[in-house]
Structure 1
């Protein structure tokens, strides 16, 4: 795995809807800008070798970093794969939609649910939203949220941005009734 750079973003919301948020709501994102393991190979029928060579390593790299950046236990989480213009969306999906990748984050966060994800192809500086859901119950509405990310110089055409996001809480000032009230 060739990593060009790691980007860490931390958002701390101190006020929402004109009211203080206490404690402040924290969301952290850590993204690795990596060389696309299938770059320059044309259409690759079997993505398995690239998955084996990359997915676990990038998951092991990012999981502890995003939790360190959050500086609190994670209650919500998500992931992203943004592929440069010379790659395929399937390249990003191949890396993040495998237990080899996601289990690093699930174990580090004491989570049990599948990680919500975004995958897309785009130029350097493309904006993408990472969806987040509760780490043990994806039906907990208060934790359905997104965080917006942009890395000015990534991905290059032959790169993939792989990112993990974590929130220390649900949405600030959330007021929706539990899903069970509608069933």
Structure 2
């Protein structure tokens, strides 16, 4: 069976400056909390693919969500997923409560494994409020059912460079 996981967290967007370093710093602790929930929800399955997203309330900028999803957050997700050499696909946008977002998923060790190109659609009914940012982590335990578009197979993936 497929086991998707999509924990999210809304945090107050307290800054509107050019300096985005507070977002990078906050993303580590936020990532640890969200990743722990995701791993717990995935049990007893192993994480095979991942993605991430942020929805910024209307008082913020899309760039604030992007800043929360950069490398510090991604590294926490990789560690929680049991490793992963591929970059983590992401989506960000500004929206009001009730917004939906499609979070792209890819195989955690090699982006060229097409069987794991997928997406998870979620709707956040109560967030983000204008001064909030919803941060989302998606894990999945498999690729698409009945995939047949070719490309690198998961059995042939090396997982050293994040691509093959």
Common fold, TM-score beyond 0.5?
Answer: yes
Partner of 1:90: 63
Partner of 2:123: 150
TM superposition shift of 1:26: 1.7
Q: Count how many residue pairs are aligned between Structure 1 and Structure 2.
A: 151
Q: Which has the higher contact order (CA 8 A, sep 6+)?
A: 2
Q: The residue matched to 1:82 in structure 2 has which SS?
A: strand
Partner of 2:85: 112
Partner of 1:123: 96
Instruction: Tell me if the contact between 1:25 and 1:172 (Cα under 8 Å) persists in the aligned partners.
Output: no
Q: Normalising by structure 1, report the TM-score.
A: 0.79
Instruction: Tell me if the contact between 2:52 and 2:104 (Cα under 8 Å) persists in the aligned partners.
Output: yes
| Unaligned stretches of 5+ residues in structure 2 | 154-164
Q: As a proportion of its length, which structure holds more strand?
A: 1
TM superposition shift of 1:112: 1.2
TM superposition shift of 1:55: 1.1
Q: Which has the larger radius of gyration?
A: 1
**1:68 aligned to 2:40?**
yes
Instruction: Tell me if the contact between 2:47 and 2:139 (Cα under 8 Å) persists in the aligned partners.
Output: yes
Q: The residue matched to 1:28 in structure 2 has which SS?
A: coil
TM superposition shift of 1:134: 0.3
